[in-house]
């Protein structure tokens, strides 16, 4: 270990951890594994103090997501963390679920950074029913948004782009958030598209720790699906970049943007639907202009993020020395 590396570790240990709430749509075993990976990443990050976990629909139904979140908290989370059930669909927006009540109670106790990596419904409900708590949210980090004309295509083999799933599953909830003054950070498909977890990465984690073994075992089906239908390199761990912005913002290149919701032709429409002019909503970011909601947009991680992520997932707590940020 170098003196620089040791000094970086001491700086992290001396700093107060950031109080964070996780709002997730866990689906390990039935869908995208990224929420569960992000939870473990946060539990293993000394820069973060996880103060609560709320769960909602998204990558899986709420009934599927809740037991997965409970298992992850029980196996890898701090003592006393019990996930709270939130919205089962976008139609639940405005309903004070256990998750929204628990988040409100924690915000009354202390300001929080919220990592909201599923649909917007839980957070939109909080802001609609308890607008007085908006100023207690120091930062809201979401996995959503894109640049104009950007298609979420990972490889030439992918005939249909990925959806901007969290945004598209509750567009109206996102409107509520954009109408608020909560500081907003977007960690979208673009920033995560540069990071890959491969079969070799999973095997490396499997041999390091119980969390690594659990991740490798429960991610095999997702890895195999991506290798067969999208890209042989592995899969993009989408939500982990949002957590990376909290723990190591120096490793995530970002810029100030304006955000707006527009309607345009559906980039995922089938040929018949395209001929019929099918449309959908998009959440677009612009680097210039006066219209739209202010936000920070993450667009590229530095190379060191990959190894940091693997080590955090495996629980080895590697600390990366700060790196100077570059302008886009």
Average pLDDT taken over every residue of the chain: 93
8 Å CB contact between 140 and 185: yes
Q: For residue 74, give every residue at least 6 positions away whose Cβ sits within 8 Å of its Cβ, in sequence order, or none.
A: none
Average pLDDT of 122-146?
98
Q: Domain locations in the chain?
A: 18-314
pLDDT digits (tens, 9 = 90+) for 210-264: 999 999 999 999 999 999 999 999 999 999 999 999 999 999 999 999 999 999 9
Average pLDDT of 272-289?
94
Query: Would you place residue 323 in the very low, low, confident or very high pLDDT band (cuts 50, 70, 90)?
Result: very low
pLDDT over threshold 60, residue 8? no
The two tokens of residue 149 are 């004309």
The two tokens of residue 214 are 């659990």
pLDDT over threshold 50, residue 327? no
pLDDT digits (tens, 9 = 90+) for 24-65: 999 999 999 999 999 999 999 999 999 999 999 999 999 999
pLDDT digits (tens, 9 = 90+) for 145-173: 999 999 999 988 888 999 999 999 999 99
pLDDT over threshold 70, residue 118? yes
Q: Which residues pair with 263 in a beta bridge?
A: 281
pLDDT over threshold 70, residue 3? no
Q: Which residue has the higher pLDDT, 12 or 279?
A: 279
Q: Report the alpha-carbon distance of residue 249 to residue 243 in Å, rounded.
A: 9
Query: Would you place residue 5 in the very low, low, confident or very high pLDDT band (cuts 50, 70, 90)?
Result: very low
Q: What share of the chain is helix, strand, coil (3-state, %, to 5)?
A: 40, 20, 40
Crossing angle of the two packed helices 210-218 and 199-206, in degrees rounded to 10: 140
| Domain 18-314, second-level architecture | Alpha-Beta Complex (3.90)
Average pLDDT of 128-156?
97
């Amino acid at each position: 270990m170098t003196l620089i590396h040791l000094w970086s570790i001491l700086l992290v240990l001396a700093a107060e951890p950031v109080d964070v709430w996780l709002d997730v749509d866990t689906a390990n075993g039935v869908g995208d594994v990224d929420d569960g990976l992000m939870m473990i990443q946060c539990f293993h990050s000394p820069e973060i103090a996880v103060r609560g976990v709320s769960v909602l629909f998204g990558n899986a139904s709420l009934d599927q997501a809740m037991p997965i979140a409970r298992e992850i908290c029980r196996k890898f989370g701090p003592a006393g963390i019990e996930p709270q059930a939130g919205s089962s669909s976008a139609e639940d927006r405005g309903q004070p679920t256990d998750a929204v009540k628990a988040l409100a109670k924690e915000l009354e106790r202390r300001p929080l950074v919220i990592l909201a990596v599923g649909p917007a419904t839980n957070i939109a409900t909080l802001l609609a029913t308890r607008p007085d708590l908006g100023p207690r949210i120091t930062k809201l980090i979401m996995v959503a948004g894109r640049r104009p004309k950007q298609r979420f295509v990972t490889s030439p083999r992918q005939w249909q782009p990925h959806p901007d799933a969290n945004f598209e599953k509750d567009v109206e909830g996102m409107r509520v958030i954009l109408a608020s003054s909560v500081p907003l950070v977007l960690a979208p498909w673009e920033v995560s598209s540069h990071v890959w977890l491969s079969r070799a990465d999973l095997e490396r984690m499997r041999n390091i720790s119980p969390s690594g073994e659990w991740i490798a075992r429960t991610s095999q089906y997702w890895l195999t699906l991506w290798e067969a239908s999208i890209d042989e390199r592995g899969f993009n761990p989408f939500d982990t970049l949002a957590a990376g912005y909290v723990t190591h913002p120096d490793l995530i290149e970002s810029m100030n943007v304006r955000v707006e919701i527009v309607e345009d032709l559906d980039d995922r429409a089938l040929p018949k639907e395209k001929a019929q002019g099918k449309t959908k909503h998009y959440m677009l970011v612009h680097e210039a202009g006066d219209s739209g909601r202010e936000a920070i947009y993450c667009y590229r991680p530095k190379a060191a993020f990959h190894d940091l992520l693997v080590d955090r997932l495996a629980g080895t707590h590697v600390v990366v020395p700060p790196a100077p940020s570059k302008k886009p």
